[in-house]
Amino acid sequence: MKVFMIGGTGLLGSEAVRELIARGHEVTALALPPVPKGATLPPEMKIEFGNYLEMSDDEIRAHLRGCDAFVFAAGVDERVEGPAPIYDLYKKFNIDPIKRLLPLAKECSVKHVAICGSYFAYFAKKHPEMQLTRWHPYIRSRIDQENAAMDVAGPGFDVAVLELPYIFGTQPGRKPVWVFLVESICGMKGATMWTRGGTAMVTVRQVGQAIAGAVERNRGGHCYPIGWWNMTWEQMLRIVHLPWLTRRPMSSR
């Protein structure tokens, strides 16, 4: 298949490109310059630099025509700061692009779409009694992103949203995603406390495999929670080299 990807030079996108090419697919990626210094990108990938948010619909159509699949590996997560109301920022980068790009892809006869989403959406649906979308703008934005994607899916236009959890992996030239967590904990004075329980985790390679699998195998409109390991918070925090953490987790609330 011919695949068009937005975000092909990032941590997740570049790994998906590597997996897709290994499976025999042809990939063209649109990304913001520059390529991260030291990043090892598949030489077979065709890279075009530009900001899709600033492109006209006709320019986007030119990238989509002749492609069998489209991967959206861009957007922002909850670590990004912005002015209030923060939901507007999430809407601009996570929801509005889906509402715009997917109809264009469908118009250009693209058959398969994969979108990198968040496992927060999975938990919001699994535990409606917690009203997570009411209290968390980011979680609400991810649910709204999924709804926007599913609204366009239909016969002959397969759309998969991957609900991605914590991801282990690094990319030369970019700050690891774990840095914000380490800096936050190191800034705490005295003992560090965390809740009981834990979280799901995957490696960046597994994310690449999940994206490629969604492109190849998904039929219809579906949201897939992705996970491999379930770790307690203590296990996870010790992996990121914080051996001095207290061994006394506080009670969950």
pLDDT in tens, 146-191: 999 999 999 999 999 999 998 988 888 877 777 777 777 777 777 7
What does the H/E/C string look like for 16-54?
A: HHHHHHHCCCEEEEEECCCCCCCCCCCCCCEEEECCHHH
* pTM for the full predicted model: 0.91
pLDDT in tens, 181-222: 777 777 777 777 777 888 899 999 999 999 999 999 999 999
Backbone angles phi, psi at 12, to 5 degrees: -75, -45
Q: Which of 9-23, 32-46, 238-252 has the highest mean pLDDT?
A: 9-23
Distance (Å) of CA 51 to CA 2, 56, 219: 21, 10, 30
Burial string for 164-196 (b: 16+ CB within 10 Å, else e) reads: bbbbbbebeeeeebbeebeeeeeeeeeebebee
pLDDT at residue 39 in the model: 78
pLDDT in tens, 52-90: 999 999 999 999 999 999 999 999 998 889 999 999 999
CATH architecture of 2-168+201-229: 3-Layer(aba) Sandwich (3.40)
Q: Where are the domains of the chain?
A: 2-168+201-229
For the chain, first and last CA: distance in Å? 48
Decide if pLDDT at 14 tops 80: yes
Decide if pLDDT at 249 tops 60: no
DSSP string, 181-250: HHHHHHTS-S-----SSEEEEEEHHHHHHHHHHHHHH--SEEEEE--SEEEEHHHHHHHTT-TT--S-PP
- Packing angle of the helix pair 57-64, 96-107 (nearest 10 deg): 60
| 78 Rama sector, left if φ>0, alpha if ψ -120 to 50, beta otherwise | alpha
